[in-house]
Structure 1
Amino acid sequence: MVEKNVIIDVEPGLQARPAAQFVQKANSYSSEIFIEKDQKRINAKSIMGLMSLALARGNEIKLIADGPDDQEALEDLASFVEGT
Structure 2
Amino acid sequence: MYEEKIVVQNKSGLHARPASQLVELSQQYRSDVTILTEEDEINAKSIISVLAGGVLPGTEITLQVEGVDEAEAGAALSRFLHNLPD
TM-score (norm 2): 0.89
The structure with the largest strand share of the pair is 1
Q: Distance in 1 between matches of 2:76 and 2:42?
A: 18
Partners of 1:18 and 1:10 in 2: CA distance: 10
Consecutive unaligned residues of structure 2, counting only runs of 5 or more, are: none
- What is the RMSD computed on CA atoms of the aligned residues? 1.4
* 1:16 corresponding residue in structure 2: 16
- Is 2:76 the counterpart of 1:76? yes
Identical-pair percentage:
35
* Number of residue equivalences: 84
> Moved runs in structure 1, 4+ residues, more than 3 A?
none
Unaligned runs of 5+ in 1: none
1:39-62 CA-partner distances (Å, limit 9, x unpaired): 521211001111111111221100
Using the size of structure 1 for normalisation, the TM-score is 0.91
Deviations 1:16-74 (A, max 9, x none): 10000000000000101101001521211001111111111221100101111101111
